[in-house]
Amino acid sequence: MASEFELLRNITIGQYIPGDSFIHNLDPRAKLIGVGILAATLSASRSIIAVLCAFALILFLVKLSDISPRYALRIVLPSLGFLSMLFVFQLLYTGWRNLEGVVYIEWGWIRITRYSVHLIILSAIRFVSYLVLISLLTLTTTSSNL
């Protein structure tokens, strides 16, 4: 029973923290449109640098909302198991998609290439960005306003 409460303490999606910041005072429709634009930007970009810039923007918005970035990033802890499983599958199965790229390791049917490592890094940054972005939305907007 106590472990359930410990897990819920780390999940920030769905919680609301009252505040009087610029982000808190925005219209909920503007927040939803902003989240949609940032999510579309994260999804459409294939550049690690562009996704890192979007993630930096999300962290800036978290800081602008007077919420600790450390608190907003707590959502990543419960999802580490899923993230690691996702990365292992990407590492194992995406190496054969780009046959003319640089091959780092090839052992039987396992092939780790520059392309697969790029996809893993890109997916990790995207996934964490999505989690923090949704967490920011729910931390600054009441459920009745959403």
Of the candidates 64, 40, 67, 65, the one whose C-alpha atom is nearest the C-alpha of residue 54 is 40
Q: In the beta sheet, which residues pair with residue 106? A: 111
pLDDT tens readout for residues 52-75: 999 999 999 999 998 888 888 888
Residue 47 has pLDDT above 70, yes or no: yes
Residue 100, pLDDT above cutoff 80: no
65 phi, psi to nearest 5 deg:
-85, 5
User: Which has the higher per-residue pLDDT, 108 or 20?
Assistant: 20
Query: Would you say 133 and 28 are in contact if contact means Cβ atoms under 8 Å apart?
Result: no
Tell me: the pLDDT tens digits for 106-143? 777 677 778 888 888 998 999 999 999 998 888 888 87
- Phi first, then psi: what are they for 126, rounded to 5°? -60, -50
45 pLDDT higher than 70:
yes
pLDDT value at residue 74: 81
